[in-house]
Structure 1
Amino acid sequence: MADNHGNTPAAWTAVGVAMIGFLVGSIALMRDPVNMTWFWVGIALGVIAFPLFLVLAKLGFHSENH
């Protein structure tokens, strides 16, 4: 395992975006009637989190120097 163990700006940003996506999607499913537009927005945020991490890692935000 890496020494930084995910404690980098790239990892925290990706996890934050994914958590917001799950929150938006969960709230959309609890609405009556179910709000499918916001559900898919939440899904999109969750999916975008991984490519966002990869871009930030390529930019150097996945190192111990930040």
Structure 2
Amino acid sequence: MSSSGHGHTPAAWTGVIISFIGFCVAGAFMVLANVPGFWAGIVLTVLGAVVGGLMRLAGLGSEPKRSAAPVAAVVQPQEG
């Protein structure tokens, strides 16, 4: 398992599985020369991205990583 956790969430898995099924459906209907079936597969592929995004917004995805860049220190003027 990677340390960043990239893709190891229910949202990512669900989106990829739906998109993969859509890709397979589109490929099968392309070979069968069935245009409506092909476009149905394309719709499923896009639907996978939409479902994954909605699940991420619902809290089932990973939190965005914050920048690891160091913050510049604020220099206080010395009173003398």
TM-score for the superposition, normalised by structure 2: 0.70
Structure 2 stretches of 5 or more lacking a match?
64-80
What is the CA distance between 1:10 and its match in structure 2? 0.2
Tell me the equivalent position of 1:41.
40
**Identity %, equivalent residues:** 38
Query: Quick one: higher RCO (CA 8 Å, sep 6+), 1 or 2?
Result: 1
Structure 1 stretches of 5 or more lacking a match?
none
Equivalent pairs counted in the alignment come to 61
Tell me the equivalent position of 1:18.
19
TM-score for the superposition, normalised by structure 1: 0.83
Quick check: which has more Rg, 1 or 2?
Answer: 2
**Which structure is higher in helix share?**
1
Q: CA RMSD in A?
A: 1.6
